[in-house]
Amino acid sequence: MNVNLQTLLTSVQINPHYKKSSKRFVTGDSKLILHEKTILSRVRSTTLCDASMEGGVINMSWASQFIAWATNVGMRVYDIQARTSLGLIKWRRNTSISPDQVKCSLVWAADERSLLVGWMSTICVCIVRKRNASELPSRDLPEHIVEQVAFIQTDYIVCGLGPLSPEELVVLGYYPHDPESEDPERPQILVYETSSKQIISTDSLTLRGYEQYTAKDYQLVCLIEETRFTIVSPKDIVVANPYDADDRVEWLIDHNKFEEAMEAVIAKEKYLQRNSMLDVGRKYLDHLLFMQEYELAGEVCKKVLGTNKTLWEEEVYKFARVHELRKISRHLPQGHYKLDPHIYEMVLFEYLQLEPEGFLDLVKEWPPDLYKVSAIINAVLEHMIKSDMADKDIVLEALAILYSHSHKYDKALALYLKLKHRGVFEMIQKHDLYNVVHDMIEQLMDLDLEQSIAMLTEKDKGENVIVTKLKIPSNVVVTKLEHNPMYLYLYLDAQEKQDGIKKYHGILVRLYAEYCRDNLLPLLKRSDTYPIREALNICKTNNYIPEMVYLLGRIGNTKEALSLIMSELKDIQQAITFCQEHDDTDLWQDLINYALAKPEYITYLLQRIGMFVDPRILVERIQDRMEIAGLKYSLVKMMRDYNLQVSVQEGCKKILVSDFFNLQERLVSLQSRGIVVDSSSVCAWCDQQLMSSQLVSRIITFNCKHSYHELCLPTYNMEKCRICSTERLPEPRSLL
């Protein structure tokens, strides 16, 4: 469509639905004119409003059926369907700014009913709505009405505005200044919350030549469908759009706020298109390596790289180039997924050369399937040859662990013993190395007696719970410790307390005599598997009198034993007990002989001997005129004890006599009873009937009730039944 208006236009707006309508558009100069295509492609122009008295049309905006247009007086909205103006909203007067210095901004929101108006230092939000019934007293009024819902007074000139959301709007502002005394300020983009009229964001724009520009040189154009804003100046065009998740992440990265960027990626992952956790994480890693923050970089690797083997190896090589593999070692994968063995070997080599303690910690911590154990062993041996190490023991301990990983337990145990390391016991138990340590028993006991004894007495828990055996046979231990009696004593003593080892009681007697006399006498009393003569000689050598007394009593040399009690121990009570245990009259006589020389012994015997022997034996042998303390009391007690003994003996005798006669009477009664033999009875020898008309023979019956023909017995005077010949029976008696 080509239209020659022959006038200078200030504004042009086409119908938003230009193709669907009759290709209409409006122009503004001194008038607001509608142009539309008619039949035969002619253009018809219709003057909608005359603005010549108000300085002409300075701006307009068209949405749906409404055209908003402005003059120096105010702003109007024209309803193109009703062909009527909906009213005038006048500008507030501002004497500090001339209308020639500013532009009017008119922007319809996406709903085509909300209108944003910017004029000088004011922002106005209007809506077009239908009148309600109370607002229609006359049908001459338009159906719609324009209503102002928000007004914002600013301290800058509004150069343009547009909707950001239903509750937010964007404004391009220019701050006026005094050219003679003030420097010009850069234009700013401001975001308002319309409900509260508060600024929620602001940003200054650095545009080329902004120092020479005024408010009329700037313009803000809004593409509502894309939420895109274009700032136009004489030399620059800036496109602005709302910050999305990717913009946020990229801004944080540009400002080296990588941790916040990673948090933003996690929070907005589903909205991201250009960034991912891996991308941001790798940039963060590069930054940390550049800043030499290797410890933190190792932690980030674990968060970012996940199970990506290739990326892990790439990052590990970056650490290797700066000799900082130690910082990433704690974070390397060790679970279901793992890296190539040479990666872990590189880390171990670096620790071995630079930090032996860390090398030992890793060897303890890492499972051996992460790396080639043989390669690390060779590296350790080579390192020990080439370098003079101050931490040799640490490296040797690590080497012992490596040997155990490669099942070279003999070498591992040798190193542990060389280092005097108590971890040897744990390794023996863990790997069941009891058969390997036979030649190391004494060294193990030198290292830790308690753990060694526990290990040597440990039993093998087989399928048979009742029958168990030692994991290290006792004969092996005894053989290995025969030259170290102290260790042998500790081992056999522990075994004796646990289960008892009768076959070694002979050795244990000698060891107890040397190291623990308190256990000697109890062992002598409870055991019968030691050589008594040898034990007696040991006790004589050590002058152990109580033990000698016991052993002499066992071999029957009671006189010598009693002599030791009286001469060495001088214990009359023990002597009485000894005589009582052996119940020998001669022994009592010997005791009396020893006691006669000492009155105090006589007193003691008088009080206690009456229960065991005839006290007259003692009384008759006391010398005349011997002074005996407490004699009266002792004699009274002796007689009471003796009478009690006699009374008990007489009572026992009566009981025995009574029992004898009762049992004898019962026996006679039983043997006097008759035994039934009838016609059905058979001979126990020939199985023929005892009473038969064809056979005339006497019948002999025993108390066991077996009956015989006299002819079937070898002799008549047989005292035993031929069947019950193993039993002693009374004499048979014959029945006719």
Q: What is the pTM of this model?
A: 0.56
pLDDT band at 626 (very low <50, low <70, confident <90, very high): low
DSSP class of 569: I
Does residue 318 lie in a domain region?
no
Residue with tokens 């914002």, as numbered in its chain: 152
State the average pLDDT over residues 6-22.
80
Domain residues for 612? 585-672
At 241 the pLDDT is 82
Length of the chain: 736
CA–CA dist 329, 341 (Å, integer): 13
Does residue 654 lie in a domain region?
yes
Rounded percentage of the chain residues whose pLDDT exceeds 70: 89
Most confident listed range (273-277, 313-317, 573-577, 719-723): 313-317
User: E-strand spans in 551-698?
Assistant: none
Give residue-wise pLDDT tens across range 53-62.
888 899 999 9
Residues 40 and 74 in one domain: yes
Does residue 272 lie in a domain region?
no
Residues 708 and 730 in one domain: yes
Residue 655 reports pLDDT greater than 90: no
CA–CA dist 523, 508 (Å, integer): 9
CA–CA dist 295, 473 (Å, integer): 53
Paired strand residues for 223: 228
CA–CA dist 630, 635 (Å, integer): 9
Domain count, the chain: 3
| 369 in Cβ contact with 401 (< 8 Å) | no
Give residue-wise pLDDT tens across range 709-725.
888 877 666 777 877 77
Does residue 202 lie in a domain region?
no
Which residue has better confidence, 220 or 711?
A: 220
State the average pLDDT over residues 302-314.
91
Tokens for 348?
């171990």
CA–CA dist 422, 424 (Å, integer): 5
Residue 617 reports pLDDT greater than 80: no
Short-list 562, 606, 566, 602, CA closest to 582: 562
Residues 618 and 721 in one domain: no
Residues 28 and 124 in one domain: yes
At 616 the pLDDT is 66
Query: How many DSSP H helices and E strands does the chain contain?
Result: 26, 24
Which residue has better confidence, 486 or 671?
A: 486
Residues 49 and 111 in one domain: yes
Q: Extract long-range pairs of 164-167: CB within 8 Å, 24+ residues apart.
A: 164/191, 164/227, 164/242, 166/109, 166/111, 167/193, 167/194, 167/195
Residues 624 and 678 in one domain: no
Strands 459-460, 469-470: pairing is antiparallel
Amino acid 139 reads R
| 725 in Cβ contact with 694 (< 8 Å) | no
pLDDT band at 736 (very low <50, low <70, confident <90, very high): very low
Does residue 642 lie in a domain region?
yes
State the average pLDDT over residues 320-327.
93
pLDDT band at 612 (very low <50, low <70, confident <90, very high): low
Q: List the CATH number of the domain containing 64.
A: 2.130.10.10
Rounded percentage of the chain residues whose pLDDT exceeds 90: 39
Residues 639 and 718 in one domain: no
Does residue 120 lie in a domain region?
yes
pLDDT band at 324 (very low <50, low <70, confident <90, very high): very high
Give residue-wise pLDDT tens across range 552-611.
989 989 899 888 888 888 888 888 888 888 888 888 888 888 877 776 777 777 666 656
Domain end, chosen from 134, 153, 172, is at 153
Q: Which of 116-125, 341-350, 514-523, 615-624 has the lowest mean pLDDT?
A: 615-624
Residues 603 and 701 in one domain: no
Paired strand residues for 116: 107, 125
Q: For residue 636, give Cα distances in angstroms to 483, 606, 608, 633, 710.
A: 62, 9, 11, 5, 70
pLDDT band at 734 (very low <50, low <70, confident <90, very high): very low
Residues 6 or more apart in contact with residue 323 via CB below 8 angstroms:
350, 354
Residue 721 half-sphere exposure, CB side, CA atoms within 13 Å? 18
CA–CA dist 82, 89 (Å, integer): 19
Paired strand residues for 66: 63, 79
Does residue 598 lie in a domain region?
yes
State the average pLDDT over residues 543-556.
91
pLDDT band at 735 (very low <50, low <70, confident <90, very high): very low
Domain end, chosen from 639, 657, 672, is at 672
DSSP 198-236: EEEEEEE---TTGGG--GGG-EEEEEGGGTEEEEE-SS-
**How many Å is the Cα radius of gyration of the chain?**
62
Residue 27 host element (H or E): strand 25-28
pLDDT band at 430 (very low <50, low <70, confident <90, very high): confident
At 565 the pLDDT is 86
Does residue 708 lie in a domain region?
yes
Residues 107 and 28 in one domain: yes
At 730 the pLDDT is 46
Residues 6 or more apart in contact with residue 313 via CB below 8 angstroms:
339, 340, 343
Domain end, chosen from 103, 138, 153, is at 153
Residues 147 and 16 in one domain: yes
Residues 37 and 111 in one domain: yes
Residues 6 or more apart in contact with residue 441 via CB below 8 angstroms:
452, 456, 472, 476, 477, 480, 481
Q: Which of 40-54, 420-434, 465-479 has the lowest mean pLDDT?
A: 465-479
pLDDT band at 358 (very low <50, low <70, confident <90, very high): very high
What does the H/E/C string look like for 495-521? HHHHCCCHHHHHHHHHHHHHHCHHHHH
DSSP class of 269: G
Residues 683 and 637 in one domain: no
Paired strand residues for 46: 34
CA angle 381, 387, 393 (to 5 degrees): 65
CA–CA dist 680, 307 (Å, integer): 103
